[in-house]
Amino acid sequence: MKTNLKEKAINLRKQGLTYSEILRQVPVAKSTLSLWLRSVGLSKKQEQKLTKKKLVAARRGGARKREIRIAKTRGIFQEVAKDIKSLSERELFLIGVALYWAEGHKEKENRPGSGVQFSNSDFKMIRLFLNWLVFTCQISRERISFNLFIHRNSENRISKVLDFWVHETGFPITSFQKIYYKKHNPKTKRKNIGDLYYGVLRVRVSKSSDLVRRIAGWVEAINCRVV
């Protein structure tokens, strides 16, 4: 019986079937199958067929893993949503201070008098910070402007990028003052490329050196309470 199974396995392999496909028809251990097929040569066409099958299987497996990950993430989001029912003014105030502590421009000894500058590529974080400025700090919208930093290879889609930021911030195009293009490096391995790349937006507030100092004071006060 084993001789018949071995012959069948060899014939199936010569037809270009993978080990997994052969094992469905030949009920033996994979180690046994490997031993039987060790000396079985394949034509170039058969090797290409096997390679194509492996790629298809890998993509199918990758797609399935992605579906599982997305479903799991969605479930986690739904589960933890109940932990954030609403935000009080006090909570929004502290969140804004912490955001600026992490991502905002700080006043330097050698550059006193610098104003509020907050940079990020996450549009949700930008929106939250803008709400903090307008509703918590009572900064008028007229005092807020933006600079955009983006790689040179996105220059041909800059109108789309600006439309995106106008939509997400709720500010008019006239609030966007300057665009700074970063030098494109074709050898880069960075992932922030393509149609979903919108650069880094810097929020600026005019005449805000005192606000920078107030934020620094709030940060220091929080740090003292924690320590």
Of residues 193 and 181, more confidence is placed in 181
pLDDT tens digits, one per residue of 13-60: 878 788 888 898 988 888 888 888 887 766 666 666 777 777 777 788
* pLDDT at 61 (0 to 100): 82
Q: pLDDT-based confidence at 74, cuts 50/70/90?
A: very high
Is the pTM here over 0.85, yes or no?
no
Dump the DSSP string for 93-141. HHHHHHHHHHHBPPPBTTBTT---EEEES-HHHHHHHHHIIIIIS---G
Cα 202 to chain centroid, rounded: 19
> Percent of the chain beyond pLDDT 90?
54
- How many whole angstroms separate alpha carbon 202 and alpha carbon 119? 4
pLDDT tens digits, one per residue of 197-207: 999 999 999 99
* pLDDT at 45 (0 to 100): 67
